Structures are given as structure tokens and as C-alpha cells.
Amino acid sequence: MSNKQPFSFEFSAPKTNEAAKKVTQVHAKLIKYSPDFFSVTYGAGGSTRDGTKQTVLNLAKSGSNVAPHISFGGDDAETIGALLREYKFAGINRLVALRGDRPSGTGGSVKMFHANELVQLIRQLSGDHFHIDVAAYPEIHPESETVESEINFFKQKVEAGANSAITQYFFNADAYFGFRDLCKRQDINIPIIPGIMPITNYTGIKRFSELCGAEIPRWLEKQLQSFTTQPDALLAFGADVVTDLCQRLLRGGAPSLHFYTMNRSFPTMTILENLNS
Ligand code: FAD
């Protein structure tokens, strides 16, 4: 696999100084892969607004292309406008625009602005300055009732001005190809970048997958369960499974790969080294 294969890496916004240091260290290790960009998440309800901004500005200062994640959270259009101006001033030209997760404990009571509304606002306030990524769900967002509504709402984000999309992670390459085909049939032609989740432990991936609606195929779940007392063997097995997934996606025409690093370098680097070998 050529070194020219485009990649991007995602960091979770740090909430402590210790976590911020970790991001800096992981960034220093991943930079050698010359990623298209690093993205930094935005905590549910805007809970990491300052941590996200600080991390983005630090990474940008070091010369990397950085794409902050952004959502309305509890903010108004004016606050979003001020944040956009700060990012523009700092040389940021890419954003990941999201509705965002519901802050925990709020149930369905909080009004959430859909991502298409945010994309529209960013275009109104900043014209074409930012390349805007939005989220896509090959296995269908947990709140979506039908595949049709999923595709229709995805199309609204594209029509509002999204340039490309990054998917929720999945372990079944066919889910991605099927979703891409459905989009093409609806005349949605933006690049759809697969989101890749390295597998590092069973309980974590199980809990997270239940929350975000990602399916762990039965064969994979059974294998992971068999490694619960052998963490190193699980890491090696997980890296092989995810490398195979990446290879299938790239062979099938995926435009790039976006790694959810979970602020760790080793799992992502193992997969990248496998891909490059
Ligand atoms: P939307 O596109 O608004 O969709 C949410 C749901 O509402 C879907 O079911 C959709 O079909 C439906 N819908 C969409 N538009 C409408 C409409 N106009 N009317 C009615 N229904 C509609 N979460 C965070 O909190 N912070 C992050 O940094 C973050 N980063 C992420 C990065 C990626 C690449 C991905 C895939 C997810 C990320 N998430 C993040 C999780 C994301 O916020 C959740 O999945 C959230 O539940 C949906 O966000 P969205 O932008 O996809 O929402």
C-alpha cells in the first residue's frame, strides 16, 4: 500500500492537562504519516468548547491542518459566529459540523439543532471559507426510523453545503459500499470517508458500539470474547481484522480513511504499518 494513501486522525478533546499532554505526544507520533488533517471532537452540548479550541489552536500552531468538530450545543448563532472568526483567524479552513451527542442525563428534553442547520449557518456566516465535513451512518443512525429518511436527511446536509462526509465506524465493509451506492442513486456525490475504529478491548468496543449503533458481527464478537484474558493477543487480532477492513475499503474505492485514535498512537500506527507493508 502506497504511503500516498490519504489518512486523517481524530482526537477526543482533552478535559485535563494530563490528557492535553497525551494528545500532543500522540500527534507528534502520527504526524510522520502526513495526514490530510487532524480533527478534534466537541464534547456533547459544547462541554469541551475551550478544550477543543485550545487543542485545535495548539496543533495548528505546530503546522498541522486541523479540523475542529463543531455543534450548536447550547450556543446561539452569535457564539458560533465568534468561534468561526477565531478559527478563520488561526488559519483553520476545515470543520466537522454535527448535531452532536445529547449531553448525558438530559434524555430527549434538550432542543438539538440538526447538522444541516449548522452547515447552513456556517455557509451564511463564512461563505466558502471552510471545507465542511458532516457525519454519515452506513449502518443507519440509531434515531433514524428508515433507511430512506436517513438518506434524505443526509442529502439535506449536502444540499446545505457539506463538501464531504466521515462515517461512524463499522466492521462490515459491505455496509459502507451499500450506503455509498444508495447515496449515488439519490445523486449524493460528495466523498464519503470511512471512519475506522481500532479494536483495543472487548468491553469498551461493546459498550461504545451499543451507544452509537455500530454492529459488531457475531463472529467478531465471539473471537473478541475469547481473548478477554489475553490483551496482547486481542490487540494483534484486532489490528489484523481492522487492517483487512481498511484494505477492502481502499480496494473498493474509499477516498481516504479517518482513524478514531482515541488519543492513542499504537493501535492506529499498527494498522498503518500493516497497510504500508
Ligand atoms: P444529524 O445529521 O442532525 O442527524 C441526527 C438524527 O436526526 C439522524 O437520525 C438523522 O436522520 C435525523 N435528522 C437529521 N436531520 C433532520 C431533520 N432536519 N429533521 C429531523 N430529523 C433529522 N458527537 C459529539 O458530541 N461530538 C463530536 O465531536 C462528534 N464527532 C463525530 C464525528 C463523526 C465522524 C461522527 C460519525 C459522529 C460524531 N459525533 C460527535 C456523534 C454525533 O454527534 C451523533 O451521532 C449525533 O447523534 C448525530 O449527529 P449528526 O451530526 O449526524 O446529526
pTM equals 0.96
**Closest atom of ligand 1 to CA, residue 42:** 28
Does residue 166's CB lie within 6 angstroms of at least one atom of ligand 1? Answer: yes
**Closest atom of ligand 1 to CA, residue 137:** 36
Does residue 153's CB lie within 6 angstroms of at least one atom of ligand 1? Answer: yes
The single residue of 10, 86, 143, 273 carrying the catalytic annotation is 10
Atom 18 of ligand 1 has which residue's CA nearest to it?
Answer: 114
**Closest atom of ligand 1 to CA, residue 168:** 36
Atom 39 of ligand 1 has which residue's CA nearest to it?
Answer: 100
Does residue 208's CB lie within 6 angstroms of at least one atom of ligand 1? Answer: no
Q: How confident is the model at residue 218, as a pLDDT?
A: 97
Q: How confident is the model at residue 108, as a pLDDT?
A: 58
Q: How confident is the model at residue 2, as a pLDDT?
A: 46
- Asked if 118 and 161 touch (Cβ cutoff 8 Å), the reply is no
Which residues have CB under 8 Å from 37's CB, separation 6+?
Answer: 8, 64, 65, 66, 67, 94
Q: How confident is the model at residue 75, as a pLDDT?
A: 87
Q: How confident is the model at residue 110, as a pLDDT?
A: 62
Mean pLDDT by 10 residues, the chain (277 residues): 77 95 97 97 80 95 97 90 96 96 65 92 98 98 95 98 98 98 98 98 96 96 95 97 98 98 98 94
CA of 119 to the centre of ligand 1 (A): 12
Q: How confident is the model at residue 9, as a pLDDT?
A: 98
CA of 135 to the centre of ligand 1 (A): 6
219, three cell numbers: 463472529
pLDDT in tens, 71-114: 988 888 999 999 999 999 999 999 999 998 877 665 555 667 99
Q: How confident is the model at residue 50, as a pLDDT?
A: 82
179, three cell numbers: 450506503
Residue 51 phi, psi (nearest 5): -65, -40
Pairwise CA distance, residues 60 & 241, whole Å: 33
- Secondary structure of residue 96 in the 3-state scheme: strand
Active-site residue, 10 included: yes
Please state, as a whole number, how many other Cβ atoms lie within 10 Å of the Cβ of residue 181.
Answer: 10
